[in-house]
Amino acid sequence: MVENSRDAARARADLRFKKQEEAATVRQKAMAEYAAESDARKAKTDKLRALRLAKEAEDLANATAAPAKKPARAKKK
């Protein structure tokens, strides 16, 4: 009878340990996925920011190269 209770206690402990190990593995996998998504989002944001800044610089260069003429004012009588 003592043997059975020891075996049962050991089996419960092994089962609990396996569940804890599985939960830790799932947490690590989730954190790795979260970090990968975060890195991908940051890279995409940086790329889009660089493209936007380049376009703004190009637009600014084109705007200063050919300034728009102001319409003539009407003379007062």
With respect to residue 39, please indicate whether it lies within any of the assigned structural domains.
yes
pLDDT for the residue numbered 67: 59
With respect to residue 76, please indicate whether it lies within any of the assigned structural domains.
no
With respect to residue 74, please indicate whether it lies within any of the assigned structural domains.
no
pLDDT for the residue numbered 74: 73
pLDDT for the residue numbered 40: 98
- Per-residue confidence in pLDDT tens, the chain, 77 aa: 567 899 999 999 999 999 999 999 999 999 999 999 999 999 999 999 999 999 999 999 888 766 566 777 777 76
Q: Could you tell me the CA-to-CA distances from 7 to 12, 13, 14, 77 in Å, in that order?
A: 9, 10, 10, 111
Alpha-carbon distance of 15 to 11, in angstroms, equals 6
pTM higher than 0.85, yes or no?
Answer: no
Q: How many domains does the chain have?
A: 1
